Amino acid sequence: MPSDMIRQSEYGIFINNQYHSSAKNFAVTNPATGETLTEVPDAGASDTLAAIDAAAAALPAWSATPAIERAAMLRKAAALMLERRERLATIMTLEQGKPLTESRGEIAYAASFFSWFAGEAERVYGQIVPAAAPNKRILVMRQPVGVCALITPWNFPSAMLTRKIAPALAAGCTVICKPAEQTPLSALELGRIFIDAGIPAGVVNILPALDPIPFSETIFADDRVRKVSFTGSTEVGRILIRSSAQTVKRISLELGGNAPFIVFDDADLDAAVKGAVASKFRNSGQTCICANRIFVQSAVYDAFAEKFTAAVANLKVGSGLESDTMIGPLIDHPALEKVTRHVQDAVSKGAQIMTGGAPLPAQFNPTGTFWTPTVLLNVSPHMLVTQEETFGPVAPLIRFETEDEVLALANDTPFGLSAYFYSQNVSRVMRVAEKLEFGIIGANDALPSTANAPFGGVKQSGLGREGGAFGIDEYLEVKYVSMGV
Ligand code: SIN
């Protein structure tokens, strides 16, 4: 049984390279079956304080470790993740529900942040700036921010964590991490990898917790924590911005999206269909960057709808452990309720269901959270499904006439994380990419995520960037020395 590997493993609060127990535990559930996979200790305020103590004690030696040595440990962590890919991917599918092929892909993606930031660790350059006086010299240096608190979501239990841990460690920071309560096992598995990669005790600490409040109150009250990085909802992001004022911490936020996916009449239609399926249905539509509103130009609307519906109707729904599954369960019942509400609202306002539109029949739906991949036709911008992030396998198709009209519709949202469009006209590609108010643009590319590029949003989708050459800046302070000579 795949879940035996979980039962046979130790999962504790990871502080100082050791797993610890706690007075209370909480259950980790398989969203595909409802079964309890295991219980993990529930970290509270005193555990959080112990983790901050450990991270603060480890900071001087870690930040003084030559970058080349820190980089070697990060490369080793990447190699170990790939070596243990099958185990890590299976655990991810068991606790998160995504198909095993996607979990394997996520483990490789997660490992790539260690490799990428190993390189960046070696290139934290300073500057010598021409001074304004002949008897002065100005030296600019970049130094680690200090102890960082990292808070990550359930939809990418491994990659969202390594996207934060890797640049932090590369910069010379130490970290305390709080993974989502639904998916702590993927995070805790990383503890063993850090030990085996030779990363010293206290540099990375991982705290599973059912209730995030004791963790966040402790980190925000503590002056030693100099930075908080969070991936999750805009609602929680706003609370963290307010909390960070207490001790004036640096903050990075990767928040919600409402991605437009635009198909122009000069697009390669087959490529657009393939891209829309990949973007919308990856992780059952539970990604912050997935297509949420699919705009199709009038001349190709019917042809696109027909091809797209046929492709979506072919997506196999089931347990992520079955090799042909393409769509797993939704994470929980609140997620199911949101999807149901969006579809019902759209239908009540005139949308037409082309395929799907309901949960899987009860005999194939042990938890009730498996939703059939859905295409909605004749959707208009006043429907909920276009205004809120659905976070589920529902694709609304909206008809448009002109480029100006669709740009106005696409930008008409408080969110600005990712946007996609398909066109074979080079001038239009440049023009539209410049006018879309989003941090990530997929131009004839539905899967833009990579460790090499600066992931992040504008407007209410967040602050800061993760990945690329910019990602390490989030964990570095800039200092200058003005020297009299
Ligand atoms: C997200 O949903 O925020 C992450 C998606 C990705 O990194 O591709």
Atom 8 in ligand 1: residue holding the nearest Cα: 449
Domain membership of residue 298 (yes or no) is yes
Q: Which of 231, 227, 119, 224 is nearest to 170 (CA)?
A: 119
pLDDT tens readout for residues 29-69: 999 999 999 999 999 999 999 999 999 999 999 999 999 99
Same-domain check for residues 62 and 184: yes
Same-domain check for residues 288 and 250: no
What pLDDT is stored for residue 8 in this prediction? 87
- 418 forms beta bridges with 440
The response to whether residue 220 sits with its C-beta less than 6 Å from ligand 1 reads no
Same-domain check for residues 227 and 354: no
Per-residue pLDDT tens, the chain, 485 aa: give them: 888 989 888 899 999 999 999 999 999 999 999 999 999 999 999 999 999 999 999 999 999 999 999 999 999 999 999 999 999 999 999 999 999 999 999 999 999 999 999 999 999 999 999 999 999 999 999 999 999 999 999 999 999 999 999 999 999 999 999 999 999 999 999 999 999 999 999 999 999 999 999 999 999 999 999 999 999 999 999 999 999 999 999 999 999 999 999 999 999 999 999 999 999 999 999 999 999 999 999 999 999 999 999 999 999 999 999 999 999 999 999 999 999 999 999 999 999 999 999 999 999 999 999 999 999 999 999 999 999 999 999 999 999 999 999 999 999 999 999 999 999 999 999 999 999 999 999 999 999 999 999 999 999 999 999 999 999 999 999 999 999 99
What pLDDT is stored for residue 56 in this prediction? 98
- Among residues 254, 389, 403, 474, the one annotated as catalytic is 254
Structure tokens belonging to residue 462? 């967040």
Domain membership of residue 456 (yes or no) is no
Same-domain check for residues 353 and 466: no
Same-domain check for residues 286 and 375: yes
pLDDT tens readout for residues 166-206: 999 999 999 999 999 999 999 999 999 999 999 999 999 99
CA-449 nearest atom, ligand 1: 8
Same-domain check for residues 226 and 349: no
Can you give the CATH number for the domain in which 44 is found? 3.40.605.10
- 371 forms beta bridges with 359
What is the residue whose two structure tokens read 């185990």?
87
The response to whether residue 279 sits with its C-beta less than 6 Å from ligand 1 reads no
**254 catalytic residue (yes or no):** yes
pLDDT tens readout for residues 240-275: 999 999 999 999 999 999 999 999 999 999 999 999
Same-domain check for residues 79 and 197: yes
Domain membership of residue 409 (yes or no) is yes
Pocket test for ligand 1, best of 158, 418, 449, 452 (most atoms within 8 A of CB): 449
Same-domain check for residues 244 and 265: no
The response to whether residue 449 sits with its C-beta less than 6 Å from ligand 1 reads yes
User: Buried b / exposed e across 372-404, counting CB within 10 Å, b at 16+?
Assistant: bbbbbbbbeeebbbbbbbbbbbbbbbbbbeebe
Domain membership of residue 105 (yes or no) is yes
Can you give the CATH number for the domain in which 414 is found? 3.40.309.10
What pLDDT is stored for residue 2 in this prediction? 87
Distance in Å, CA 449 to ligand 1 centroid: 7
Same-domain check for residues 219 and 341: no
Domain membership of residue 14 (yes or no) is yes
Same-domain check for residues 245 and 266: no
pTM of the model: 0.97
Domain count, the chain: 2
Contacts 24+ apart (CB under 8 A), 407-410: 407/432, 407/435, 407/436, 409/260, 409/293, 409/295, 409/381, 410/260, 410/262, 410/293, 410/295, 410/436
Domain membership of residue 136 (yes or no) is yes
Same-domain check for residues 245 and 263: no
Domain membership of residue 164 (yes or no) is yes
What pLDDT is stored for residue 7 in this prediction? 87
Give Cα 151 distance to the centre of its chain. 11
**388 catalytic residue (yes or no):** no
Same-domain check for residues 158 and 228: yes
Domain membership of residue 455 (yes or no) is no
Look up the domain containing 282 and give its range. Answer: 259-450
The response to whether residue 451 sits with its C-beta less than 6 Å from ligand 1 reads no
